[in-house]
Amino acid sequence: AGGDPGAAFDRLLAELDASPDVPGWADGPHAQTMLLDIVGQYLYGGAETRAALLELLGAAAAGDLGPLTETYRAIVSGPGGGYRYGAYLATECADDVGEPVSDEEAAASLRRSMEAAPRINGNSDPALWEPIAAEPGMCALQPLEASKLPRGIDAAGAGPALVVTTTGDPATPIESARAAVRDLEDAHLLVTRAAGHLGFDLARWRPTERRSKCVLDTVHAFLLEDVVPVERVRCSNKRQ
């Protein structure tokens, strides 16, 4: 309680950097990398994940890397664990070629990112963060001259689609999900009252919660039993 949280985080990073090996994980990532990756993941979760993140940081500061290690294992082995940013960027660039961006503009984007989050960007692997920070200019470097994304997508004749979202997704906001439902010929919306990215993944990470069971049951019924919701589905931890 109290004190300077930024300074405490810096001390923890320095301690982990001085003793980078993770007990019981000889071929795993260094402890500092593990911590930074987890912080990045938890920042997607909003207020709901703040308490859990503080517990992990407190345990690590006290010399116990067990909770940190188990959380990281769950992230890399769970939904999205095989995700690679390059694959995302290749798809994104094929969909939206983007406006030409100069080397100077791309470098300025990177500098702004480093200034806004020096602890995360300044200590992380540049191979990961530099492309993300400079994303506005990445698509302009490819040979494509026009988007491969067809306009006016309505998926006519494709059958029903289930669009899953959360009320507090910082990366893909609920407004985008609502727009997709409006645009598609036969789409149905499933909304999870939660702060975090990707409603189905959140449910898989927290399967014991009431709202997670609601999401998983609805998605599984849709995919495995062809059960299409007759109206918008809302999932929360409140008793219905």
Provide, rounded to the nearest whole percent, the portion of the chain with pLDDT above 70.
70
CB atoms closer than 10 angstroms to residue 115: 10
Could you read off the pLDDT of 203-218 as tens digits, one per residue?
Answer: 887 888 999 999 999 9
Q: Which residue has the tokens 């709202």?
A: 211
pLDDT digits (tens, 9 = 90+) for 152-184: 778 889 999 999 999 988 888 999 999 999 999
pLDDT digits (tens, 9 = 90+) for 51-65: 788 888 888 888 888
pLDDT in tens, 30-39: 777 778 878 8
Residue 159: left (phi > 0), alpha (psi -120 to 50), or beta?
left
CA–CA separation, 20 vs 14, rounded Å? 10
CA distance 75 to 169: 18
Taken in order 103, 104, 105, 106, the sign of the CA dihedral is positive
pTM confidence score:
0.65
Token pair belonging to 106: 């791309």
| Under 8 Å between Cβ of 145 and 32 | no
Q: In this model, does residue 128 exceed pLDDT 50?
A: no
Terminal Cα-to-Cα distance of the chain (whole angstroms): 37
